[in-house]
Amino acid sequence: MRTAFIRALREAAATDDRVFLLVGDLGYSVVEPFAQEFPNRFLNIGVAEQNLAGVAAGLASSGKVVFTYSIGNFPTLRCLEHIRNDICYHQADVKIVAVGGGMAYGSLGMTHHATEDLAIMRALPGMEVIAPGDPIETTLATRAIVTRPGPCYLRLGKAGEPVVHDEPPPFTVGKALTLSRGSDVTFVSTGGMLAAAVQAAEQLGQTGFSVGVVSMPTIKPLDADCLRAVAGQCELIVTVEEHNVIGGLGSAVSEVLVGVHGSQVGLKKVGVQDRFYEEIGSQEYLRAQTGLTVEQLVDAAETGLAERRLTNGQPEKPIRKQRESATRGNA
């Protein structure tokens, strides 16, 4: 995703001389092409994230479109007051970019986990929050926010995220991307969990379930119309995010669904539990600890659907046995 971001930003800077990139003494092997091509619009602020936000706000006040770039929670939590007071309060045209959302830097420990950022950023007045699902969405999102006035938070994966979309979808800030529709379960995913959600849907679909997938690259503003439509089409919505289950995508979706009159859809939030993870390991290892593997998503959907049907007085169906039986039949 970070490579797609830099490529799209270079394209934007080539046609718009207002575009600046500021980094906090990192990003090397990624940001050099921008620095070499636009040396007068690239600044290394150093390991001083408060200054990073302050300088960005100052440049924006003089008519620039400024992107700040750092890893994990450094460009957000470390300088939160400056973002709130200098950027959001003044509606400054600053785009805050964090690479390594979730537990991408898991080998460096919980200090480098970005698992509260969506909740905090979406609580700031005037801040748009975007978490693309794959490199294609990253490119489209970067192009879109260059031309949108005001603050924006762009949350990226680290590197190596698979391309999910066969071709660029129509992308609009504030709109969801529907990959498929289902009458039993719909996975609503944000950020780098999109590929896992698609694989989980495919596994469930192979056993006779009707499963949909919605990519929600924009957390704020949220596509409430899409969610209301999904709520009328399926029995269960499963939100998928590499983020605390409090305050992120799941919370945002629940805020919409609670206002849908007469809706019977269930909601299951899958994400990082509300604790610090002291385990050290790769992103894949930590996803397994937090219930975010493909198999765990399948289990969560099955369990949630069974619970929903039991609550509604429907006879409990042996969903797990049904899936295993279908799998054996296809072997």
Q: What is the structure's pLDDT at 262?
A: 73
Using alpha carbons, list the distances in angstroms from residue 137 to 64, 156, 167: 24, 10, 10
Q: What is the C-alpha separation between 187 and 149, in angstroms, rounded?
A: 31
Which numeric CATH code is attached to 177-329?
A: 3.40.50.920
Q: What global pTM score does this model have?
A: 0.92
User: Domain spans of the chain?
Assistant: 2-156, 177-329
Domains 2-156 and 177-329 share a fold: yes
- Residues with pLDDT less than 70, the chain: 313-331
Number of H helices, E strands in the chain: 12, 12
DSSP code at position 311: H
> pLDDT tens digits for 43-98?
999 999 999 999 999 999 999 999 999 998 999 999 999 999 999 999 999 999 99
Q: Residue 30, exposed/middle/buried by CB under 10 A (0-12, 13-18, 19+)?
A: middle
Check: CB of residue 203 under 8 Å from CB of residue 185: no
Q: What is the structure's pLDDT at 315?
A: 55
Tell me how crowded residue 281 is: count the other CB atoms within 10 A of its CB: 14
Which numeric CATH code is attached to 2-156?
A: 3.40.50.970
Rg (CA), the chain: 20
